């Protein structure tokens, strides 16, 4: 497929935003159960603000993908059948929840609504946080299922796609949260950086598993099934146009196989290996700058990863578009 | 239930692109607006078409066959392109099975084109909405036209009658018979999309001549010839004139 930059930015930005929010609420949950000292409201508020900005930027990028952005509201119509429609609903819902969560913390509006049997208080931010967590996972699933549900795109049609979207978004979000905590809430930094490390390692395992799986895929459709002629030797001589068409532009990345191969190693290094090193370093030195660098490198790596994700998918329609004439 | 469809006879198609031309002409002049091309008279002309004729070479030299292969939306009975559309702009009509795009609802997200394994959908770069074959829905129900004209533009243009149009759910229709009697098949059956359009395979044209066709069976004694009667092996009037 041809990777559209709008979608590359959309999926990586909101993935990091979701991960960041999950990291914030992880800290709040630990604190609510007394596993960690309570943190200043400003940590959550600033974190939510950054998450909201990432989500807004992602949404903004997504509009560049549409031919008619002014009609985007229509995309909420078919949530019963379309994962894209579900994403269009989940994204603003999640964004709104994150925003309210941040506002509640910033202004300290946090009345206790109920009490758990254990005596732990349930306040507004706990409710918003739980809702946000559910929505964050729903959004990860919707985003990934947009790709994973297309059964002809066999590189995507696997549960690994969903797992990777969750792990890679989570990894970048937790790394960013660790960098933020280094200045805003130093005593939770080790927790967040450790989680970031664990999720990044899991992400590496998930992504590597996908690469291995995809390298062994055998195409289901062939030129024989595409035109229905049972002969082992068929060559396309003309595809009906010479100047190209939507079909020759949208479904092929237009780069060499060598670039694709090298990009694979580039993103394995920058999205996983280098961040793992930087996270460990930042964790042991308690250096916020190193953690921030880890996030930046990882985010750039994830951009490459996402580009590769799209480019690697081979659409069966390409069987019909192999020879210019 | 009705399922309108095209049946394309690969045994007859000569790859002349008349269907492509007539399709574009009809659909660019319709109420849905033009199908604008980019660089139409320049280097690398490109634009939106509903129908393309492709050419494949089957076999190895010298035993090759050239197959011309017209391709448009197959109006699948289980269209994977429809449920993925977030706006409902893509839909399949209950009454006749035609898969259509509502250009006023389409947001141009291209998701449906990703979900079509046949590459039958093309975005209109000018109107920025998704386009595809409509089976000339604006022709076939137009009662101001004669019955003969109420057929898709491509079908009417084809000089070799390689394109048939009709209801494949009606067992007595021309298309159902053609599919049944000539081994009609669907493209990429492995995805379960159940394309409504079918293709008729290349067939060897054999001429079978029986003995009694070589010697005239209806005039064995050559009684129309002049006396004295020629021998039976001599040419008769039938053999030398064509009435
Ligand atoms: S050929 Fe493609 S566009 Fe047409 S109905 Fe089938 S899946 Fe949809
Ligand atoms: S491009 Fe238009 S028709 Fe296709 S899925 Fe998007 S909104 Fe639906």
| CA nearest ligand 2 atom 8, residue | B85
| CA nearest ligand 2 atom 4, residue | B112
Neighbour-count burial of B106, counting CB atoms closer than 10 A to its CB (0-12 exposed, 13-18 middle, 19+ buried): buried
Q: Kindly state whether residue B8 falls inside one of the protein's structural domains.
A: yes
* pLDDT confidence of residue B207: 83
Q: How does the average pLDDT of chain B come out, rounded? A: 91
* Residue predicted with more confidence, B209 or B54: B54
B92 close to ligand 1 (CB < 6 Angstrom): no
Residue to mutate among A81, A246, A321, A322, with most B CBs inside 10 A, is A246
Neighbour-count burial of A22, counting CB atoms closer than 10 A to its CB (0-12 exposed, 13-18 middle, 19+ buried): buried
pLDDT at B233 over 80: no
Q: Report the nearest atom of ligand 2 relative to the CA of B84.
A: 5
Q: Kindly state whether residue B69 falls inside one of the protein's structural domains.
A: yes
Q: Kindly state whether residue B194 falls inside one of the protein's structural domains.
A: yes
* pLDDT confidence of residue A34: 84
pLDDT at B16 over 70: yes
Q: Kindly state whether residue B157 falls inside one of the protein's structural domains.
A: yes
Question: Domain range spanning residue B126?
Answer: 4-37+48-200
pLDDT at B226 over 70: no
pLDDT at B222 over 90: no
- Chain A residues with CB under 8 Å of B55 CB are 236-238, 325
B82 close to ligand 2 (CB < 6 Angstrom): no
Residue to mutate among B87, B112, B127, with most A CBs inside 10 A, is B87
* Six token digits for residue A183: 């200045």
* pLDDT confidence of residue B55: 96
* pLDDT confidence of residue A320: 96
Question: What is the rounded end-to-end Cα distance, in angstroms, of chain B?
Answer: 52
Nearest residue in A to B42, CA atom: A243
Its ipTM equals 0.92
Buried b (16+ CB within 10 A) or exposed e, A201-229: ebbbebbeebeeebeeeeeebebebbbbb
- The DSSP string of A34-100 is TSSPPPPHHHHHHHHHHHHHHHHHHHHHHHTT-S-GGGGGGGGTTTTT-HHHHHHHHHHHHHHHHHH
The helix (run of H) or strand (run of E) holding residue A243 is none
Q: What is the total count of domains within chain B?
A: 1
Q: Angle, to 10 degrees, between the axis of helix A159-184 and the axis of helix A5-32?
A: 60
Contact B115 A150 (CB under 8 A): yes
Work out the minimum CA distance from B139 to partner chain A, whole angstroms: 25
Task: Could you list the beta-strand ranges (E) of A71-171.
Answer: 112-115, 121-123
* pLDDT confidence of residue B217: 62
Give B215's pLDDT tier (boundaries 50, 70, 90).
Answer: low
Give B84's pLDDT tier (boundaries 50, 70, 90).
Answer: very high
| Record: fold of A5-216+236-320 | Formate dehydrogenase/DMSO reductase fold (1.20.1630)
**Which residues numbered 171-200 in B keep a CB inside 8 Å of some CB on A?**
185-191, 199
Omega cis (within 30) before B62: yes
Kindly report the CATH number assigned to the domain that includes residue B159: 3.30.70.20
> Residues of chain A whose pLDDT is less than 70?
324-325
How far apart CA A180 and CA A189 sit, in angstroms, is: 8
Q: Kindly state whether residue B214 falls inside one of the protein's structural domains.
A: no
Give B124's pLDDT tier (boundaries 50, 70, 90).
Answer: very high
Omega cis (within 30) before B85: no
pLDDT at B242 over 70: no
**Phi–psi pair at B47, nearest 5 degrees:** 180, 180
Closest CB from A150, A235, A247 relative to B56: A235
- Chain B residues with CB under 8 Å of A246 CB are 48, 113, 122-123, 125
Closest CB from B128, B188, B201 relative to A226: B188
| CA nearest ligand 2 atom 5, residue | B85
pLDDT at B227 over 70: no
When pLDDT is averaged across residues B167-186 and rounded to a whole number, the result is 96
* Residue predicted with more confidence, B216 or A187: A187
* Six token digits for residue B79: 């269209």
**Where in chain A are the domains?**
5-216+236-320
Distance from Cα A91 to the centre of ligand 2, integer Å = 19
């Amino acid at each position: 497929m041809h990777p559209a930059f709008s979608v590359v930015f959309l999926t990586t930005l909101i993935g990091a935003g979701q991960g960041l929010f999950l990291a914030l609420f992880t800290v709040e949950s630990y604190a609510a159960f007394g596993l960690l000292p309570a943190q200043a409201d400003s940590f959550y508020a600033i974190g939510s603000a950054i998450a909201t900005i990432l989500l807004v930027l992602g949404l903004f990028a997504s509009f560049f993908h549409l031919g008619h952005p002014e009609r985007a509201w229509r995309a909420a119509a078919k949530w019963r059948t379309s994962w894209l429609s579900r994403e269009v609903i989940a994204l603003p819902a999640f964004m709104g929840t994150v925003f309210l969560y941040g506002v509640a913390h910033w202004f300290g509006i946090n009345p206790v609504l109920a009490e758990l049997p254990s005596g732990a208080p349930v306040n507004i931010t706990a409710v918003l946080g739980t809702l946000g967590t559910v929505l964050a996972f729903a959004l990860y699933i919707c985003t990934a299922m947009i790709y994973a549900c297309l059964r002809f795109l066999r590189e995507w049609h696997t549960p690994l796609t969903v797992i990777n979207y969750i792990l890679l978004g989570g990894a970048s979000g937790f790394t960013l949260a660790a960098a933020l905590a280094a200045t805003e809430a130093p005593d939770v930094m080790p927790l967040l950086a450790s989680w970031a490390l664990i999720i990044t390692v899991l992400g590496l395992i998930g992504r590597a598993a996908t690469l291995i799986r995809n390298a062994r895929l055998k195409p289901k459709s062939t030129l024989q099934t595409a035109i229905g002629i049972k002969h082992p030797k068929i060559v396309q001589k003309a595809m009906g146009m010479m100047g190209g068409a939507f079909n020759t532009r949208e479904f092929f990345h237009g780069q060499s196989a060598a670039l694709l191969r090298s990009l694979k190693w580039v993103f394995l290094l920058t999205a996983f290996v280098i961040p793992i090193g930087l996270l460990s370093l930042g964790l042991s030195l308690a250096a916020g700058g190193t953690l921030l660098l880890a996030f930046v490198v990882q985010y750039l790596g994830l951009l490459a990863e996402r580009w590769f994700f799209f480019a690697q998918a081979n659409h069966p329609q390409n069987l019909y578009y192999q020879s210019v004439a | 239930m009705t399922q309108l469809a095209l049946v394309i006879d690969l045994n007859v198609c000569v790859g002349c692109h008349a269907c492509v031309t007539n399709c574009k002409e009809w659909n660019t002049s319709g109420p849905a607006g033009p199908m604008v091309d980019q660089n139409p008279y320049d280097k690398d002309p490109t634009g939106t078409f509903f129908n393309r004729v492709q050419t494949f070479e089957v076999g190895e030299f010298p035993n090759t066959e050239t197959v011309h292969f017209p391709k448009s939306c197959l109006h699948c009975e289980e269209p994977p392109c429809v449920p993925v559309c977030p706006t409902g702009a893509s839909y399949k009509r209950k009454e006749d099975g035609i898969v259509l795009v509502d250009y006023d609802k389409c947001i141009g997200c291209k998701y449906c084109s990703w979900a079509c394994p046949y590459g039958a959908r093309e975005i209109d770069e000018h109107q920025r909405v998704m386009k595809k074959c409509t089976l000339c829905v604006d022709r076939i129900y137009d009662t101001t036209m004669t019955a003969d004209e109420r057929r898709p533009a491509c079908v009417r243009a084809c000089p070799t009658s390689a394109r048939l149009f009709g209801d494949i759910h009606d067992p007595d229709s021309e298309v159902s018979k053609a599919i049944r009697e000539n081994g009609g098949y669907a493209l990429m059956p492995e995805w379960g999309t159940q394309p409504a359009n079918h293709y008729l395979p290349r067939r060897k044209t054999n001429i079978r001549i029986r003995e009694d066709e070589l010697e005239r069976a209806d005039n064995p004694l050559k009684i129309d010839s002049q006396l004295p009667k020629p021998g039976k092996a001599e040419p008769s009037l039938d053999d030398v004139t064509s009435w």
